[in-house]
Every structure is written in structure tokens, then in C-alpha cells.
Chains A and B, each alone.
Chain A
């Protein structure tokens, strides 16, 4: 069973976090921390839209899963592709661990690295257009290789 779920459109938050809770309830985890990302109303947008490159996203996620496993923890993640309207959710990350400290530290590092590294592209939906959110995007570590003279 994959711990990484991709959906077309908005996430069904109650279904996902309840199902994840039930899936892990017998594994003696003392802590379950879901991070739920919601699209905010901002600059007159109708919503956001996402492109996802699944092969590299999966590899990135599996590297994190191994890191979490070495701490006795487990990660789950859900993300949208396509359009997600204001006040809907596009992203849920969750950590399960025996104790709270590992869970709190892991969810922070995981979500921050997600923002910097996961191969997902965001667009604003505004006035019927789909506009790349260039100014909120982060170049992946090692970017610029093709322009370098090494």
C-alpha cells in the first residue's frame, strides 16, 4: 500500500485523515500529526492549480520514508493535481511515531523539504487564466547545472 496519494482536484480531508488514523491505530504509535494545507483567498485568485511529476516525487518521498523509518516513524502524504479552489485542501502530510518529539521534528523537516524539493508546480487561477507562481517558487538544489561552465 502506497503512503503517497495523488488526486485529481481537491482533497477529501475528513476521509483521508480518518482513514489514515484507522490504518495506523493498531501499530502502537503514540503520536499522529497531520498537516493540512488549505488554499487561501489572496490577490483575487479563484484557486490554485498543480502539475506533479510523479516519478521523482515518488523517489523523493521514499527517501523520506526511509529516514522516518530509521526513527521508528512513518509518513503519509496526499496531494492534488489540477485545480483546487479557495478554501479547499491541496496537501496533507502526516507523521506517525511512538513519541511526540520525533513526530514534531519530523513533520517540520518533511514539510519544509517538501516545499523546497518536491517536483510540483503551482499556478494561480485568476480571471480565467492559469499563471505560474514564479515568485513563490524555489529552485531545486543543484539547479542551473546546464548554465554552468564546470
Chain B
């Protein structure tokens, strides 16, 4: 990849600090919640929060260590975590994936998957519709046969399957 010409979207240091803060917050949530559950010795043994409380503490300690190290390391600010071009590529995939996953509940697994594969082929692969349609439909039909017929594992279905009387 042409890292030199592609501007950085975020430095390693920024992401490192960001992730460490998220972990720290997660650790604090664990500590606070388990402390309120009781993290000490009860009447007949350790209280339910005992073990996870210390787990939470260790999360906090390690994330603070990571945070402090990244903070003090100015060299990391020079390194690119992800360039703009790379980030764009990832978002081109990630956004449709999120859309795909959230439409499954409404369209059913097979229709959503067909649209998702078709979008990918059309948008990223620059395939013509003549190739895109048979491949995306074919893959979904194959999955339908494998899971519904062969393995007997029902996947969520939507209006299309209902209309075809398959649901």
C-alpha cells in the first residue's frame, strides 16, 4: 500500500489512548457494579462480586499502564494506525455489514444475504448485473438448501419466504 502518499486518519498513539480509555471505563463499570453486589466475604463464602471485582481492578490497572505508556511515547504519534484510504475501504465494508445485520430481522436471512453479497460484488468487485444476480441468488439458495433442508437448522425468514410458502 502507498502509505507515503496516503494521509493518516489516526495515529497509533491516538487510537492506543482511545482504546485504553474505553477499557478503563469498562473496568470501572465492572468494579462499581460488582462492588455494589458485594465484593467481600459473606456469611457462607465470597459474595457474588468477589471474583469479578478483582478482575475489574486488574482491567483498570492494566489499562492505566497502557495509557501511561502511550501518553509518554511521542514517537507513536508519528505512526499511522489507519490511513484515510484504508479507513475508507473498511467503512465501505463495515457500514453495509451493519446495515445487513440490522435488516436480517425484517427481510429474513436469505433475502438480506442476497442483497448484501450483490452489493459487495457490484460496489467493490465492479461486476455487471449479469454476473452479480446469479451469484448472489445462487449462494443464498445454496445456503437455504444446506441449512433448512440438510441440517434442519431454521434461520429467520422474512416476507419473501412467507409469500413463497417456505416460512
Our verdict on whether A and B bind, yes or no, reads no
Interface residues of A (CB under 8 A from B): none
